[in-house]
C-alpha cells in the first residue's frame, strides 16, 4: 500500500445489514482495521433489532432504510453516501468500494486481499472465493448453479463462487454496472454487466467465514427468493443482449424505481 493510501484512506467499506445486531459490531470493528479503510458505512435495510445502534457504537456511519428494500438498493445507498463524502472531502480520486456481508465478524479483515488488486490496477472488481466454512449448514446448490450457468452463457467468465457478496470495485466499475439488479440478484448482475463491458474481474481466495444458512423451512424460503432474484437478473440481461429489452439491468424488477 502506498503512503498516500495509508494516510488518507483509499477504500470505503459498505455493509448492507438486516437484523444483524449480534454480528455487526465485530464485523465493523474488523473492517475498520483493513489497511487503507477510513470509512465504514452500514446500510440498515429495515432491521427490527438494534443493528443500527450497535454499528454506530463501534464507529460505523449508519444509514437506515425505513423498510426492507433489498440488497441491491442497500448497496446503491451505501455507495451514494461514499460519493457524497468524497465530494465533501475534496478528493481528486474516489475511494474504492469494498462490499462486505454483515455476518463476517472478525474475518472481515480478510477484505484486505480483495483490495490490493483493485488498488494496484490489476482488476476492476475482485470477488472473494471463501474456504470451506467452519460452521455447519448449507443448501443444495441450485441457486449457485443457476447463477453460474447464467453468467457462463452470457459471458466468457466461469465463476467459482458467483454469489459471493464480498467484492471490491473501482468507482468507475460500480457506475458502469448501474442500474444494479434487484435484491439477491445483484452479484450475478454485477458480474455479467462488468465482464460484458470489458472490465477486469478476478476471483481472489480470502479467509472469510460467516453464518451458513440452514435447511429449515425459513432457510428454504430464503433460497427460493434468491433463486427468483437471480433468474430475474439473468433474464433481463439475456433480453438486453438479444436487443429486445425495453430496459436493461433490473430496473423493471426494482420496487423502489
pLDDT tens, position by position, 120-132: 999 999 999 999 8
Q: What confidence tier does 242 reach under pLDDT thresholds 50, 70, 90?
A: confident
Cα–Cα distance, 231 to 150 (Å, whole number): 8
Domain interval for residue 109: 3-248
Residue 254 domain-assigned? no
Strand partners, 39: 12
78 closest CA partner among 58, 101, 57: 101
Q: Report the pLDDT value the prediction gives residue 221, as an integer from 0 to 100.
A: 80
Cα–Cα distance, 23 to 26 (Å, whole number): 6
Helix 217-242 / helix 142-154 crossing angle, nearest 10 deg: 10
Residue 253 domain-assigned? no
Let me know: does 202 contact 191? Beta carbons within 8 Å. Answer: no
Q: What confidence tier does 254 reach under pLDDT thresholds 50, 70, 90?
A: very low
| Cβ-based neighbours of 135, under 8 Å, separated by 6 or more | 209, 211, 212
Q: What is the pTM of this model?
A: 0.88
Residue 256 domain-assigned? no
Residue 255 domain-assigned? no
- Across the chain, mean pLDDT equals 89
Q: Report the pLDDT value the prediction gives residue 210, as an integer from 0 to 100.
A: 84
Q: What confidence tier does 212 reach under pLDDT thresholds 50, 70, 90?
A: low
Q: Report the pLDDT value the prediction gives residue 4, as an integer from 0 to 100.
A: 47
Cα–Cα distance, 185 to 143 (Å, whole number): 10
The total of structural domains in the chain comes to: 1
Q: Report the pLDDT value the prediction gives residue 233, as an integer from 0 to 100.
A: 97
Annotate 176-186 with b (16+ C-beta within 10 A) or e (fewer): bbebbbbbbbb
Q: What confidence tier does 134 reach under pLDDT thresholds 50, 70, 90?
A: confident
- The CA distances from residue 209 to 25, 109, 142, 159, 214, in Å, are 15, 11, 21, 19, 15
Residue 207 domain-assigned? yes
Residue 188 domain-assigned? yes
CATH number, position 74: 3.90.550.10
Residue 135 domain-assigned? yes
Residue 257 domain-assigned? no
Annotate 36-74 with b (16+ C-beta within 10 A) or e (fewer): bbbbbbbbbbbbeebbbebbbebebbbbebeebbbbbbb
Amino acid at each position: 500500500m502506498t503512503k498516500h493510501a495509508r494516510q488518507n484512506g483509499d477504500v470505503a467499506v459498505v455493509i448492507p445489514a438486516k437484523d444483524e445486531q449480534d454480528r455487526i459490531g465485530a464485523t465493523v470493528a474488523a473492517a475498520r482495521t483493513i489497511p487503507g479503510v477510513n470509512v465504514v458505512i452500514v446500510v440498515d435495510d429495515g432491521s427490527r433489532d438494534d443493528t443500527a445502534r450497535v454499528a454506530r457504537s463501534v464507529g460505523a456511519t449508519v444509514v437506515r432504510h425505513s423498510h426492507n428494500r433489498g440488497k441491491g438498493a442497500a448497496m446503491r445507498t451505501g455507495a451514494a453516501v461514499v460519493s457524497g463524502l468524497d465530494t465533501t472531502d475534496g478528493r481528486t480520486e474516489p475511494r474504492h468500494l469494498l462490499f462486505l456481508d454483515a455476518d463476517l465478524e472478525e474475518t472481515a479483515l480478510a477484505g484486505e486481499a480483495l483490495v490490493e488488486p483493485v488498488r494496484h490496477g490489476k482488476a476492476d472488481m475482485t470477488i472473494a472465493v471463501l474456504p470451506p466454512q467452519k460452521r455447519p449448514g448449507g443448501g443444495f446448490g441450485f441457486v449457485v448453479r443457476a447463477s453460474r450457468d447464467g453468467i457462463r452463457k452470457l459471458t466468457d467468465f466461469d465463476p467459482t463462487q458467483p454469489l459471493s457478496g464480498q467484492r471490491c470495485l473501482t468507482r468507475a466499475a460500480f457506475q458502469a454496472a448501474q442500474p444494479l439488479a434487484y435484491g439477491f440478484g445483484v452479484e450475478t448482475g454485477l458480474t455479467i454487466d462488468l465482464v460484458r463491458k470489458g472490465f477486469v474481474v478476478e476471483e481472489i481466495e480470502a479467509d472469510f467465514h460467516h453464518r451458513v444458512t440452514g435447511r429449515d423451512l425459513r432457510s428454504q424460503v430464503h433460497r427460493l427468493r434468491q433463486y427468483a432474484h437471480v433468474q430475474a437478473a439473468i433474464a433481463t440481461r439475456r433480453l438486453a443482449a438479444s436487443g429486445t429489452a425495453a430496459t436493461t439491468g433490473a430496473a423493471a424488477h426494482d420496487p423502489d424505481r
